[in-house]
């Protein structure tokens, strides 16, 4: 293992786990290294994303799970470079197909968005334009990116609507978003996001606003289309059920940082980080009866008031005395797992 | 045991009008269309269904917050639908509601103490120092610091706001609380705190809940019995363990099948429920579910199924189980 020696590094020198081969692999579709996005507001600086690193292979599905304010959506927006004032990407690299998106020109980014990386959002009503027909909105993508003729555009749009399983597609093209149900709108969003066969789809809470029955339909649709288009997916959600059903690898975020990263099987079977353990213990289940839920005490952190230590320390049941003072970095455990917690860090001040 | 709540053949239609000068009645939204339910004292009845099936409307009707079109709601032996305004208002002390969005259900310009104390003032239960003491007690009961009484809702987190909403509902010592999606706007770790709080309060204060939610996992956890609603009708009603282990109605089966299981080993190919629910303005004839039902057969689109008792405690409204068909 690349890491075996690294754990003995002196503690004043932070371990850079992104030196590991997985992060240098040219075969990765996406490599995010030390990404930090801060919001500068009057009251101070909000570190919405603070030193996040992960990678994604071609065709892989990765899940980012976390509560509100954990930084999962800001991470996605940073990858797309859609962060607006007062937010700013202060450091890091987003390497997509070998080039750093954070250094690309805006014109180049416009070509990448939609064609190479596309995104679907939680609420399909607010992300569709209410005064344009479905046909105009899908057609716009082909018009801008491909400069197709009208007939081609219509044919292509129809084809996409059929692919996402919308009944009576000819009629739908002439309809406005308000005439469609929530599930249909989300299908239209998916049709738009996959119109140009992107290599990466970022789905930000794609099913949170939908009923379970419709959620199951949409998740199945995303799985099917993923197979067909060979698209890699970043699935952002707070629903651990959705993660378990769709993802191969899972990143758990809290307070703008990655707490744990592991394969979906490992996360659910043997969670390591106290936060991940807590999340699984407080989950009511439909498939089995639980006696009593064990909630995580306290509430999610206010990012303005974050102390220098681990963001979860305040609520952690296994915290050590110095957890409040120093933030643990991600270290690699067996089975390619990463965890950021002093409990597992041989480098921690006391054991030294 | 006498039931605290009995709902008999409840109907609620919302009329649809068209035109400005010549307003005419062009139809009705059949939000609730013949519902029978009972809730024994001290129990929690979970009410589940897709959005638009009428579950929130049912909650509001049970409290007498909106007038019903037809049917009876018997609370503790009294029929709510026949009471006049004054006696209904007095009866309301015994039944309260907790809403989904704690942000929207608290007045941002009132201090938390006033929000919780308002019901006490309205019903002239307490005044002055006594009122403050009672507010403090209520805040402690739901796990809030009484010293935060003078603060305003925006100073609290989502979970704390929901606790304020619960304290307000408890102010008048009600017997019955309608919880309308009380945890669906909350983060996972907070959701568990509020569920546990509701359960503790139920044990301590002998409360009866009508728990409305679309999250089937939460409902399983908190309910003694569960009613599944589809397009204004109850399609299945059973004690919660029985319903989750052995769902009978095809709708319940598909609904449970759709819930994602937080265990990657259980990854299964879902049997999907096709399409969207039909519009409640013109519900389909016969069984309302027949347009999406994978097991439909001859009588389903013509005759309405009746409630059939299976195994003593499970009620299901489906032709598959009526005796005539099983032959």
Residues A88/A48, Cβ–Cβ less than 8 Å: no
Chain A hits for B276, CB-CB cut-off 8 Å, are 181, 183-184, 214
Question: Which of B159, B267, B272 is nearest residue A299 as measured by Cβ atoms?
Answer: B159
> What does the pLDDT read at residue B324?
53
Q: How far is residue B121's CA from residue A145's CA, in Å, rounded to a whole number?
A: 64
Residues A66 and A205 in one domain: yes
Per the CB < 8 A criterion, the answer to whether A233 and A30 are in contact is no
ipTM for this prediction: 0.84
Residue A99 CA to residue A97 CA, distance in Å, equals 6
Interface contacts A/B by beta carbons within 8 Å: 142
DSSP result, B19-73: -SSS-EEEEEEEEEEEEEEEE-TT-EEEEE--TTSSHHHHHHHHTTSS--SEEEE
Q: Calculate how close chain A gets to B309, using CA atoms only, in Å.
A: 24
Tell me: do A80 and A191 sit in the same domain: no
Angular region, B143: left φ>0, alpha ψ -120 to 50, beta rest: left
**Does residue B98 register a pLDDT over 90?**
yes
B101: confidence class by pLDDT, cuts 50, 70, 90: confident
- Range with the poorest average pLDDT among A6-20, A84-98, B53-67, B81-95: A6-20
Judged by a CB distance cut-off of 8 A, whether residue B57 touches chain A is no
- List the single residue in B with minimal CA-CA distance to A285: B217
- Are residues A96 and A209 part of one domain? yes
A282 inside 8 A of chain B by CB:
yes
Whether residue A8 lies inside any domain: the answer is: no
Among chain A residues, the shortest Cα distance to B221 is held by A284
Q: What is the helix, strand, coil percentage profile of chain B, to 5?
A: 35, 25, 40
Q: Is the peptide bond before A86 cis (omega within 30 degrees of 0)?
A: yes
A338 in the same domain as A228: yes
Are residues A170 and A217 part of one domain? no
Last residue of a domain, one of A197, A215, A245: A197
Which DSSP category does B271 fall into? P
* Spatial CA neighbour of B99 closest among B209, B179, B11: B179
In a domain, A165, yes or no: yes
Residues 6+ apart with CB under 8 A from A91: A34, A35, A36
Q: Are residues A314 and A265 in the same domain?
A: yes
The model's pLDDT over B257-271, given as tens digits with 9 standing for 90+, comes to 888 888 887 766 667
Domain boundary among A142, A165, A197: A197
Which residues of chain B from 147 to 166 reach within 8 Å of chain A, CB to CB?
A: 157-160
Does A184 reach chain B within 8 Å, measured CB to CB?
yes
Q: What share of chain A is helix, strand, coil (3-state, %, to 5)?
A: 40, 20, 40
Q: Which of A219, A286, A298, A300 to mutate to test the interface with B (most CBs of B within 10 A)?
A: A286
Which of B195, B213, B254, B260 is the best mutation test for A, with the most CBs of A within 10 A? Answer: B260
Collect all residues of chain A within an 8 Å Cβ-Cβ radius of residue B265: 265, 268-269
pLDDT at residue A11, as a whole number: 42
Number of domains making up chain A: 2
Q: Is the pLDDT of residue B28 over 80?
A: yes
Domain containing residue A144: 129-197
Residues of chain A with C-beta less than 8 angstroms from the C-beta of B157: 299-300
Q: Is residue A124 part of a domain?
A: no
CA A124 – CA A272 distance, rounded (Å): 35
- Where chain A has pLDDT below 70, the residues are 1-22, 24-26, 347-352
Residue A317 forms contact with B (CB below 8 Å): no
pLDDT at position B269: 65
A135 and A191 fall within a common domain: yes
Gyration radius (Cα) of chain A, Å: 21
The confidence score (pLDDT) of residue B189 equals: 86
Phi, psi of B59, deg, nearest 5: -60, -45
Return the pLDDT at A19: 65
Indicate if A211 and A254 belong to the same structural domain: yes
CA distance B283 to B287: 9
User: What pLDDT is stored for residue A259 in this prediction?
Assistant: 95
Question: Is B44's pLDDT higher than 90?
Answer: yes
Q: Which of B189, B196, B214 sits opposite A278 (nearest CB)?
A: B189
Two structure tokens written together for A300: 């999610």
Cβ A188 vs Cβ A221: under 8 Å: no
Does any domain span residue A12? no
Q: Does any CB of chain B come closer than 8 Å to the CB of residue A272? A: no
Q: Does A30 touch chain B (CB under 8 A)?
A: no
Supply the pLDDT for residue A302. Answer: 81
Test A284 with B258 for CB contact under 8 angstroms. Answer: no
Angle of helix B158-170 relative to helix B188-205, nearest 10 degrees? 20
**Do A210 and A282 have their domain in common?**
yes
**Contact residues, chain B, for A285 at CB < 8 Å:** 217, 220-221, 261-262
- Tell me how close the Cα of A156 comes to any Cα of chain B, in angstroms: 24
d(CA A164, CA A120): 14
Q: Does residue A9 lie in a domain region?
A: no
B188 neighbourhood in chain A, CB within 8 Å = 67, 238, 240, 279, 282-283
Residues 125-154 of A with CB under 8 A from B: none
CA-based max dimension of chain A:
71
Residues A31 and A49 in one domain: yes
User: Domain ends where: A197, A226, A242?
Assistant: A197
Structure confidence by residue, pLDDT tens digits, A212-237: 888 888 898 888 888 888 899 999 99
pTM flag (> 0.95): no
Bridge-based pairing state of the strands A28-41 and A87-96: antiparallel
B159 interaction partners in chain A (CB closer than 8 Å): 299
Helix (H) or strand (E) holding A183: helix A182-194
């Amino acid at each position: 293992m690349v890491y075996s020696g690294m754990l003995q590094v002196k503690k004043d020198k932070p371990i850079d786990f992104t030196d590991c081969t997985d992060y240098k692999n040219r075969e990765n579709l996406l490599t995010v290294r030390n990404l930090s996005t801060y919001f500068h507001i009057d009251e101070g600086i909000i570190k919405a994303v603070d030193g996040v690193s992960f990678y994604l292979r071609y065709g892989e599905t990765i899940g980012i799970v976390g509560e509100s304010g954990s930084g999962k959506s800001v991470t996605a927006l940073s990858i797309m470079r859609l962060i607006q004032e007062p937010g700013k990407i202060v450091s890091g690299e987003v390497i997509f197909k070998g080039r750093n998106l954070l250094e690309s020109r805006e014109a180049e980014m416009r070509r990448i968005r939609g064609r190479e990386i596309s995104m679907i959002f939680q609420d399909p009503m607010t992300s569709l334009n209410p005064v344009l027909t479905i046909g105009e909105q899908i057609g716009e993508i082909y018009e801008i990116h491909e400069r197709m003729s009208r007939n081609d555009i219509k044919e292509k749009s129809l084809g996409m609507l059929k692919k996402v399983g919308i009944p009576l597609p000819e009629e739908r093209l002439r309809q406005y978003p308000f005439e469609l149900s929530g599930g249909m709108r989300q299908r239209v969003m998916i049709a738009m996001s996959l119109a140009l066969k992107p290599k990466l789809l970022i789905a930000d809470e794609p099913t949170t606003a939908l009923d379970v029955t419709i959620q199951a339909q949409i998740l199945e649709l995303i799985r099917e289309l993923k197979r067909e288009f060979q698209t890699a997916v970043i699935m952002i959600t707070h629903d651990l059920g959705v993660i378990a059903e769709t993802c191969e690898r899972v990143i758990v975020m809290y307070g703008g940082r990655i707490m744990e990263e592991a394969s979906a099987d490992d996360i659910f079977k043997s969670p390591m980080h106290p936060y991940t353990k807590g999340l699984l213990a407080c989950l009511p289940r439909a498939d089995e009866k639980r006696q009593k839920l064990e909630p995580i005490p306290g509430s999610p952190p206010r990012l303005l008031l974050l102390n220098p230590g681990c963001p979860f320390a305040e609520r952690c049941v296994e915290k050590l005395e110095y957890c409040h003072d120093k933030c643990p970095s991600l270290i690699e455990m067996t089975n390619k797992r990463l965890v950021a917690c002093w409990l597992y860090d041989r480098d921690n001040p006391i054991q030294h | 045991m006498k039931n605290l709540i009995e709902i008999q053949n409840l109907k609620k239609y919302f009329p649809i009008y068209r035109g400005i000068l010549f307003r005419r009645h062009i139809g009705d939204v059949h939000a609730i269309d013949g519902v029978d339910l009972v809730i024994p004292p001290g129990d929690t009845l979970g009410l589940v269904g897709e959005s638009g099936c009428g579950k929130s409307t049912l909650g509001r009707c049970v409290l007498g917050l909106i007038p019903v079109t037809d049917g009876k709601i018997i609370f503790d032996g009294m029929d709510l639908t026949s009471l006049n305004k004054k006696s209904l208002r007095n009866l309301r002390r015994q039944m309260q509601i907790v809403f989904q969005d704690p942000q929207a259900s608290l007045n941002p310009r009132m201090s938390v103490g006033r929000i919780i104390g308002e019901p006490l003032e309205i019903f002239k239960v307490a005044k002055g120092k006594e009122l403050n003491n009672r507010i403090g007690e209520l805040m402690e009961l739901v796990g809030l610091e009484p010293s935060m009484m003078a603060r305003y809702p925006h100073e609290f987190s989502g979970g704390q706001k929901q606790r304020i909403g619960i304290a307000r509902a408890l102010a008048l010592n009600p017997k019955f609380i309608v919880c309308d999606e009380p945890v669906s706007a909350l983060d996972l770790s907070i959701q568990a705190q509020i569920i546990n709080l509701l359960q503790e309060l139920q044990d301590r204060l002998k409360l009866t809940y009508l728990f409305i939610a679309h999250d089937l996992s939460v409902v399983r956890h908190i309910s003694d019995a569960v009613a599944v609603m589809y397009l204004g009708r109850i399609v299945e009603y059973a004690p919660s363990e029985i319903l989750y282990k052995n769902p009978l109605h095809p709708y319940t089966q598909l609904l449970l099948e759709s819930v994602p299981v937080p265990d990657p080993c259980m990854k299964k190919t879902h049997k999907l429920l096709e399409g969207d629910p039909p519009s409640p303005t013109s519900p389909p004839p016969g069984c309302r579910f027949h347009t999406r039902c994978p097991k439909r057969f001859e009588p389903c689109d013509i005759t309405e199924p009746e409630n059939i008792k299976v195994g003593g405690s499970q009620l299901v409204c489906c032709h598959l189980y009526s005796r005539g068909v099983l032959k």
